[in-house]
């Protein structure tokens, strides 16, 4: 399970945080392997405040709640969370409803806004689906966290087996035989707020995800256009320009040991595409939304089109 990221614990928060209406909350829907840690640091720098309350927990830090659910969530038995994988646990709902919570950030699914008594708006970053699956595979294989998870007694054998199979299996097995939902249109799943069994995503889910991005998100970006994404987010959310980072920061978090896409066999790439057709279309839609937002920003701020 997640705690407050170390990079956040070490970050400085703004002495003049963005004035956020107490009746609203920002929801950073962090799609796994989309540069989320860098974005979390930006959010913390611009939104965190010292507002200790009795609702503080190891997941709540200076008004920002880090949703305690990791990318391995679909391997947990249902009774460890809720019968509905999209529904947050009761303890989480109790904390996020506290009026001092300004931001919720983490690997949750669309629909979390329904648990607030105040208005909530989302932001998110998508990634090229093929690259995301490959990155997820190599990230999982090398991640120290997974070795620690295997040793824990409070995690059931389902997750133990998943960790073992990923660490020992090939990329092809990771996509086809493990039934790991993250590789089956994982971005469409989270953004539609619908979690069917592996291999059962639908066009209806894709249309729901596109509609949600269009209607419920203050800003949508893509990892491949990170500089432009940050610029749009900063304008929409009122971030301090001195806090912004560029794609050079993202490159510091890249796994350099993983192969490039052009180094992988074409049959493997075709296989990943076949499991991510909806994500590919959703990614195109996200880029279109980013095009519109960037063009609007350039019209409004013609002299700052390249500024950070």
Q: First CA to last CA across the chain, in angstroms? A: 35
Q: What pLDDT score does 91 carry?
A: 83
Tokens of 248: 């050079």
Q: What pLDDT score does 303 carry?
A: 59
Q: What pLDDT score does 8 carry?
A: 45
pLDDT digits (tens, 9 = 90+) for 155-178: 444 555 666 667 678 899 889 988
3-state secondary structure of 86: coil
Low-confidence ranges of the chain (pLDDT < 70): 1-23, 50-57, 70-85, 143-165, 167, 242-243, 245-256, 302-308
Count CB neighbours of 10 within 10 A. Answer: 8
User: CB of 155 within 8 A of CB of 81?
Assistant: no
For residue 186, the 8-state DSSP code is H
Q: What pLDDT score does 201 carry?
A: 97
* Whole-angstrom distance, CA of residue 284 vs CA of residue 222: 10
Size of the chain, expressed as the number of residues it contains: 308
Q: What pLDDT score does 307 carry?
A: 47
Q: What pLDDT score does 20 carry?
A: 47
3-state secondary structure of 28: strand
* Whole-angstrom distance, CA of residue 136 vs CA of residue 107: 14
Q: What pLDDT score does 38 carry?
A: 87
Q: What pLDDT score does 261 carry?
A: 92
Tokens of 127: 């990634």
Write down the pTM of the prediction: 0.84
Domain 6-304 has CATH 1.20.1250.20: no
């Amino acid at each position: 399970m997640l705690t407050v990221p170390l990079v956040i614990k070490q970050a400085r928060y703004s002495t003049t945080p963005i004035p956020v209406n107490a009746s609203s909350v920002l929801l950073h829907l962090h799609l796994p392997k989309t540069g989320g840690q860098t974005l979390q640091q930006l959010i913390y720098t611009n939104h965190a405040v010292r507002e200790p309350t009795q609702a503080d927990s190891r997941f709540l830090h200076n008004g920002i709640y880090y949703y305690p659910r990791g990318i391995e969530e679909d391997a947990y038995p249902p009774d460890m969370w809720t019968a509905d994988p999209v529904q947050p646990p009761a303890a989480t709902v109790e904390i996020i409803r506290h009026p001092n919570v300004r931001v919720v950030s983490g690997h949750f699914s669309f629909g979390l806004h329904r648990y607030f008594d105040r208005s909530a708006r989302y932001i998110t970053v998508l990634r090229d689906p093929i690259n995301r699956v490959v990155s997820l595979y190599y990230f999982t294989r090398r991640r120290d966290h997974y070795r620690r998870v295997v040793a824990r007694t409070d995690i059931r054998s389902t997750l133990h087996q998943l960790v073992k199979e990923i660490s020992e299996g090939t990329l092809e097995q990771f996509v086809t035989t493990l039934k790991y939902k993250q590789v089956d249109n994982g971005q469409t799943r989270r953004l539609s707020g619908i979690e069917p069994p592996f291999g059962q995503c639908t066009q209806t889910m894709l249309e729901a995800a596109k509609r949600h991005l269009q209607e419920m998100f203050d800003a949508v970006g893509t990892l491949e256009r990170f500089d432009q994404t940050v610029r749009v987010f900063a304008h929409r959310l009122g971030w301090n320009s001195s806090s912004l980072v560029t794609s050079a920061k993202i490159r510091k978090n890249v796994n350099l040991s993983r192969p490039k896409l052009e180094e992988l066999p074409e049959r493997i790439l075709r296989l990943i595409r076949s499991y991510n057709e909806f994500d590919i279309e959703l990614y195109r839609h996200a880029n279109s939304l980013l095009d519109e937002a960037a063009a609007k920003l350039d019209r409004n701020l013609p002299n700052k089109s390249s500024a950070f």
